[in-house]
Structure 1
Amino acid sequence: MGIFSRMTDIINSNINSLLDQAEDPEKMIRLIIQEMEETLVEVRSSSARVLADRKAAARRLEQVQAEADAWEEKAKLAISKGREDLARAALQEKHAIEEELAAVEEELRATDEHIHQLNEEVAQLQQKLNDAKAKQKALLMRGKTVESRIKVKRQIHREALDGAFQRFEHFERRMDNLESQLESMDVGRDVPPDLAAEIDALAGDERINDELQRLKSEMQDKTGVS
């Protein structure tokens, strides 16, 4: 694609429309800006060459005009000397040079139009580039804003989850306490009443047996003494 064709496509393009169609708007606008900057460099280089050509054409125009004027002066001199034949020849040379002069003037006019067109297109492209950079800045700011909002949302959700887990743990502890209280109320109730009474009776019998044995021992001691 030629420089001017590509530049025209960029100038005529709608940046917002391109971004709407892009899967990655930030990447798309980076490519647009890069394309515009590269095109501007190429166009300015081309403009420099066109300006150099215009200067050369302007110098050539001055030279050809000077040659035409010189042949006219020679024709006048020949007439003054009565040499009409030489005057006619000088005018023929002037006529030939004037044809070249017309061609150089046309080249110069075309070059001026080309430069004018380049200036307009470069100005439009520069404006498009400024718009694209402004759009890029806006996209970057929107991206940062979205990232910040996502971080805040994630933090809020994390805090909400932490709070939920804390409430759940607190509820579990309350349930553990209630279950412990309930279990403590049932301590000792698993032993049958009769069994507990029998065990208590055995303990009483053992005390009585001990007391009976003590009395027997004391009586035996007394009997032996007598």
Structure 2
Amino acid sequence: MGILSRTSYVIRSKINALLNRSEDPGESLDYSYEKMRDELQDVKQGIADLTTQKKRLEIQKRRLEENVEKHNSQAREAVQQDRDDLARQALEKKKSKMSQIEELEGQIANLQDTQDNLVEKKNKLQGRIEEFRTKKETMKARYEAAEASTRVSEAMTGVGDEMDDVARSIERAEEQTDEMEARSEAMDELEDSGAFEDALSDKDSIDRELEELSSSREVDSELDTLKAEMGKAPAEEEPETDTEESTDLDEELNADGDVDVDAELEDAEVEAELDELKDDKS
């Protein structure tokens, strides 16, 4: 098989597959039924035309028969008048008309046979059409029921073009939702890290840290001023203590419920400092 032949075969196969998928059996059956009805109508029209032609020949035959009677009467009258010549002419015309009548009778008989044959075929065709009509309606009902059952099954099992479209739509929506959620989280992270402030401001991290220190000093200065106005001495800076000591105060009791000696000494020192503060105020 050559390339062109194979290509033609593939194209025809594709076209037939597309036609089979797009063809509606109900429409095809209706179209076939209408074609058969058109053929039946053509047969009826042919029978009507044939009958009309036969009637014309019958009318012509009757006229010839009337002429035969007329010529016969003319011959009789001519014989009575001793005009054999006229009687002979009348008889000759009568014979000619009789020949025409015989020819018409043959044509009429042929037309009648043809008409009877067409009427018989018309009756058979009409019967086939009625039978086809019953089968057509039955097949359409079966096809529609099968189609409805198939659609329900496809909907329940998730099979079919429409369900494929729905599945693809859901998949695209999930992808877009995931992307939007990731973008939202990224924006929140950038905002928390101050990346947006860097983009909108000319200050760098050192400038912001210096501003925070300056703001803290301003607050401390305002607090000292407020205490001076109220007659209180500014708070002295306390030496930094290790963070582990504060956490150790929460664990004064050991596993056996005994009191920690170091914790008692620290508590005594704190109480002594508080007593000194009270003596100063008094």
TM-score (norm 1): 0.59
- The within-5 A match list for 1:94-109 is 94-109=94-109
SS in structure 2 opposite 1:82?
Answer: coil
Total equivalences in the alignment: 160
Match of 1:143 in 2: 143
- The within-5 A match list for 1:69-88 is 69-88=69-88
Contact 2:57/2:108 (CA < 8 Å) preserved in 1? yes
- Is 1:153 the equivalent of 2:153? yes
Shift of 1:213: 2.0
- Give the % identical residues: 17
Contact 1:67/1:94 (CA < 8 Å) preserved in 2? yes
Shift of 1:207: 3.5
Match of 1:187 in 2: none
Structure 1's 27 and 144: CA in aligned 2 closer, same or farther, altered over 3 A?
A: closer
* AA aligned opposite 1:112: Q
* AA aligned opposite 2:76: K
SS in structure 2 opposite 1:203?
Answer: coil
Match of 2:131 in 1: 131
* AA aligned opposite 1:113: D
Contact 1:32/1:132 (CA < 8 Å) preserved in 2? no
* AA aligned opposite 1:85: D
Match of 2:265 in 1: 209
Match of 1:224 in 2: none
Matches of 2:91 and 2:265, distance apart in 1? 170
Matches of 2:67 and 2:269, distance apart in 1? 165
Matches of 1:209 and 1:106, distance apart in 2? 152
Structure 1's 151 and 200: CA in aligned 2 closer, same or farther, altered over 3 A?
A: farther
1:31-87 deviation line (CA, Å, top 9, x unaligned): 322221222222222322222222211111110011112112222223333333332
- The within-5 A match list for 1:41-60 is 41-60=41-60
* AA aligned opposite 1:49: D
Structure 1's 219 and 138: CA in aligned 2 closer, same or farther, altered over 3 A?
A: closer
Give the superposed CA RMSD: 3.1
SS in structure 1 opposite 2:66?
Answer: helix
Match of 1:117 in 2: 117
Structure 1's 209 and 69: CA in aligned 2 closer, same or farther, altered over 3 A?
A: farther
Contact 1:50/1:111 (CA < 8 Å) preserved in 2? yes
1:111-170 deviation line (CA, Å, top 9, x unaligned): 212221221111111112112221221111011110222233234435xxxxxxxxxxxx
Structure 1's 132 and 203: CA in aligned 2 closer, same or farther, altered over 3 A?
A: same
Shift of 1:104: 1.3
- The within-5 A match list for 1:161-172 is none
Give unmatched runs, 5+ long, in structure 1.
Answer: 1-21, 159-198, 221-226
Shift of 1:218: 9.6
Structure 1's 111 and 215: CA in aligned 2 closer, same or farther, altered over 3 A?
A: closer
Contact 1:29/1:132 (CA < 8 Å) preserved in 2? no
Matches of 1:149 and 1:93, distance apart in 2? 82
Shift of 1:106: 1.3
Structure 1's 62 and 201: CA in aligned 2 closer, same or farther, altered over 3 A?
A: same
Match of 1:35 in 2: 35
Task: Tell me whether 28-37 or 61-70 shows the greater mean CA deviation.
Answer: 28-37
CA radius of gyration, larger in: 2
Matches of 1:218 and 1:76, distance apart in 2? 177
